């Protein structure tokens, strides 16, 4: 009977544990979102960006190309696409946290803050910072799938591993089960 109780409690623990996460816990793992890279490029590396920081040009650009529903948007120049992709490699980026990599070198980009849903522009800023990107594997390549803000102007740590080091690539998500749950199962087994 104790064995049946053990199996029941262990099954309850496993089923109640967080088995899937919205994002990977390390860079360059298989992506759970097949269209992540294409969405990233469509949102952040667009052709025809305004050449100036003129408010009217940017309002028109965002209104005509989509994005009125996003209050903060950052745009990288299309000529930087290869450099941006390189952030998800050991030569171009270092691990930051979770599935995020930070660029070894700063990038120039434009950040536009708008009034949600109205296409009204609050401000436009040209920035030069290290990029923080979520990097995941799609079609056997580690590519950017998300642009993370860098409000503190973080820089890569000298001690951090390269973004696509083999030790990171092989890292698999771990099933997290609470100690209380396991202790309960052991108690039932030996009771």
Indicate if the pLDDT at residue 176 is higher than 60.
no
> pLDDT digits over 64-119, tens only?
998 888 999 999 999 999 999 999 999 999 999 999 999 999 999 999 999 877 88
Q: Is the confidence at residue 6, as pLDDT, over 50?
A: no
Beta-carbon contacts of 85 under 8 Å, excluding residues fewer than 6 positions away, are 92, 143, 144
Q: How far apart are CA 134 and CA 26, in angstroms?
A: 9
8 A C-beta contact, residue 66 and residue 98: no
Q: Where are the domains of the chain?
A: 1-19+175-191, 20-174
Q: Is this prediction's pTM over 0.85?
A: no
CB environment 78-99: b (16+ within 10 A), e (fewer)? eeeeeebbbbbbbebbbbbeeb
| Closest to 173 in 3D by CA, of 32, 30, 24 | 24
Q: Which CATH class is domain 20-174?
A: alpha beta
What is the reported pLDDT for 10?
36
pLDDT value of position 101: 98
Measured CA to CA, the distance from residue 178 to residue 155 in angstroms comes to 34
SS (H, E, C) 73-94: EEEECHHHHHHHHHCCCCCCEE
């Amino acid at each position: 009977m104790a064995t049946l109780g053990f199996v029941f409690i262990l099954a309850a623990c496993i089923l109640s544990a967080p088995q899937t996460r919205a994002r990977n816990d390390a860079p360059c793992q298989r992506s759970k979102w097949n269209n992540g890279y294409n969405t990233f490029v469509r949102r952040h590396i667009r052709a025809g960006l305004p050449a100036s920081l003129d408010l009217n040009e940017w309002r028109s650009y965002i209104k005509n190309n989509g994005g009125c529903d996003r209050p903060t948007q950052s745009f990288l120049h299309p000529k930087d696409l290869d450099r941006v992709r390189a952030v998800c490699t050991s030569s171009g980026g270092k691990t930051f946290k979770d599935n995020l990599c930070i660029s070894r070198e700063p990038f120039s980009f434009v950040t536009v803050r708008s009034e949600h849903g109205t296409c009204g522009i609050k401000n436009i800023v040209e920035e030069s910072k290290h990029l923080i990107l979520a990097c995941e594997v799609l079609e056997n390549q580690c590519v950017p799938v998300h642009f993370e803000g860098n409000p503190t102007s973080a820089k890569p740590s000298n001690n951090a591993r390269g973004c696509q080091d083999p030790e990171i690539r092989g890292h698999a998500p771990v099933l997290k089960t609470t100690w209380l749950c396991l202790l309960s199962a052991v108690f039932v087994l030996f009771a």
